[in-house]
């Protein structure tokens, strides 16, 4: 790691989270993956560790930490389980960041304080007809007196089962196009609000991914985040931050896979010696280590730029694009080092490989990142 890349405080924080993950999460990873369900006790311990409100100001009960610290937590957790990592990622870099930046004092007092104490958040943008074209969403929010009546359906929503606070994007006036999009906060249990189908996925299987169904859900006007018609701005800016979170998740995943491969290469014998002694294996490990180091620099740089108030959109897109590639490459190479054992579920490496693929897809596909990068470097 480069000199002074992280402060001593940040290094200690990162190591503390990693130790917590190895002790408290690792024993449950295999079972959670097989059952496709997050262990409730783990979620409880995440709150106890103050990992579910890292940037929330202390006056609302949060840790009052930095965005970089949130990124370090996401990275450390992903070294053990990407599913737990993305739960923490969505909570911190998407939902809470949006509430901190655009929330009224009422919203901050009501929701940030509860999200520190035990309520999980969910970010609800994607619909069946609006994936990369996010602003083609069809969920409606009709004004009815002092309330909005929300009708529609969301798909591929992370944390859907565990969440109690939902940041939902809906259009108050489709004739205005994206300028009608408004961000509203819905709560679990509101009449007309229900969960639909739970998706069975290739990877991050313990992370819940579900449909959300809104059947004339009445939402108080006080639950509007920011201004009416400015939801598109909230969505864009929040996702720019969230992409650094996904990059951090993929960075941690790559490190977890790499560590498994090196440990296995130190133990596995063929032709009378440890396979780590073969030059071919050494070259594979050297290439993985190099790409991981480059990935760290990109992720930490993007996070630090965000903390320092500098532009970071290009850096966030580059980090998500590059580090997602690194995660897929490293997990694949690591699996090959395991040989046939890498292809069976007895060893953890096949899960790292399955989990890596989502990095190129959610919170903006690789092509969307390349589009952003191209636009900014060619301006």
Residue pair 38/87 in contact by the 8 Å Cβ criterion: yes
pLDDT tens digits for range 192-235: 999 999 999 999 999 999 999 999 999 999 999 999 999 999 99
Residue pair 195/212 in contact by the 8 Å Cβ criterion: yes
56 C-beta neighbours (distance < 10 Å), count: 24
CATH topology of domain 233-378: Butyryl-CoA Dehydrogenase, subunit A; domain 3 (1.20.140)
Three-state DSSP class for residue 245: helix
pLDDT above 70 covers what percent of the chain?
A: 99
Query: Distance between CA 355 and CA 203 in Å, rounded?
Result: 4
pLDDT tens digits for range 123-168: 999 999 999 998 899 999 999 999 999 999 999 999 999 999 999 9
Torsion of CA 120, 114, 183, 230, to 10 degrees: -130
Query: Distance between CA 156 and CA 134 in Å, rounded?
Result: 13
Q: What is the pLDDT of residue 3?
A: 54
pLDDT tens digits for range 287-308: 999 999 999 999 999 999 999 9
**Is residue 1 scored above 50 in pLDDT?**
no
Matching CATH topology for 8-120 and 122-228? no
Q: What are the sequence ranges of the domains in the chain? A: 8-120, 122-228, 233-378
What pTM was computed for the model? 0.97
Residue pair 69/52 in contact by the 8 Å Cβ criterion: no
Average pLDDT taken over every residue of the chain: 97
Query: Distance between CA 327 and CA 350 in Å, rounded?
Result: 13
* Those residues with Cβ within 8 angstroms of residue 286's Cβ, 6 or more apart along the chain or in another chain: none
CATH topology of domain 8-120: Butyryl-Coa Dehydrogenase, subunit A; domain 1 (1.10.540)
| CA of residue 98 relative to chain centroid, distance | 14
35 C-beta neighbours (distance < 10 Å), count: 12
Q: Where are the alpha helices (DSSP H) in 182-273?
A: 231-267
pLDDT tens digits for range 40-87: 999 999 999 999 999 999 999 999 999 999 999 999 999 999 999 999
Q: 5: pLDDT confidence band, cut at 50, 70 and 90?
A: confident
Instruction: Answer yes or no: CATH 2.40.110.10 is held by domain 122-228.
Output: yes
Residues with catalytic roles: 363
* Those residues with Cβ within 8 angstroms of residue 228's Cβ, 6 or more apart along the chain or in another chain: 172, 182
pLDDT tens digits for range 342-354: 999 999 999 999 9
């Amino acid at each position: 790691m480069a000199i002074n890349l992280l402060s001593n405080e940040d290094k200690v924080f990162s190591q503390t989270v990693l130790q917590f993950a190895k002790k408290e999460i690792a024993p449950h990873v295999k079972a959670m993956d097989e059952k496709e369900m997050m262990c409730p006790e783990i979620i409880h311990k995440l709150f106890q560790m103050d990992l579910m409100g890292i940037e929330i100001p202390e006056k609302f009960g949060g840790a009052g930490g930095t965005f970089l610290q949130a990124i370090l937590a996401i990275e450390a957790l992903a070294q053990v389980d990407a599913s737990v990592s993305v739960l923490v990622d969505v909570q911190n870099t998407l939902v809470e960041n949006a509430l901190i930046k655009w929330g009224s004092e009422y919203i901050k007092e009501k929701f940030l304080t509860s999200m520190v104490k035990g309520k999980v958040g969910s970010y609800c943008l994607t619909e069946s007809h609006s994936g990369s074209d996010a602003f083609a969403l069809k969920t409606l929010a009709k004004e009815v007196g002092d309330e909005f009546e929300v009708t529609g359906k969301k798909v591929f929503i992370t944390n859907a089962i565990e969440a109690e606070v939902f940041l939902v994007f809906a259009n108050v006036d489709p004739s205005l196009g994206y300028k009608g999009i408004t961000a509203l906060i819905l709560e679990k249990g509101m009449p007309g609000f229900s969960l639909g189908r739970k998706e069975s996925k290739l990877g991050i299987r313990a992370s819940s991914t579900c449909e959300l169904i809104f059947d004339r859900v009445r939402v108080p006007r006080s639950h509007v985040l920011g201004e009416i018609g400015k939801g598109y701005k909230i969505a864009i800016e929040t996702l720019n931050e969230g992409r650094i979170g996904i990059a951090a998740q993929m960075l941690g995943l790559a490190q977890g896979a790499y560590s498994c491969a090196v440990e296995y290469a130190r133990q596995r014998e063929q032709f009378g010696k440890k396979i780590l002694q073969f030059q071919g294996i050494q070259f594979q490990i050297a290439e993985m280590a190099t790409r991981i180091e480059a990935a760290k620099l990109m992720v930490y740089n993007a996070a630090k730029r965000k903390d320092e108030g500098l532009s970071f959109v290009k850096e966030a897109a580059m980090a998500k694009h590059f580090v997602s590639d690194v995660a897929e490459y490293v997990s694949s190479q690591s699996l090959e080092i395991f040989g046939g054992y890498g292809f069976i579920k007895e060893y953890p490496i096949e899960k790292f490989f399955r989990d890596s693929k989502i990095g190129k897809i959610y919170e903006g596909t690789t092509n969307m990142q390349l589009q952003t990068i191209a636009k900014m470097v060619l301006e």
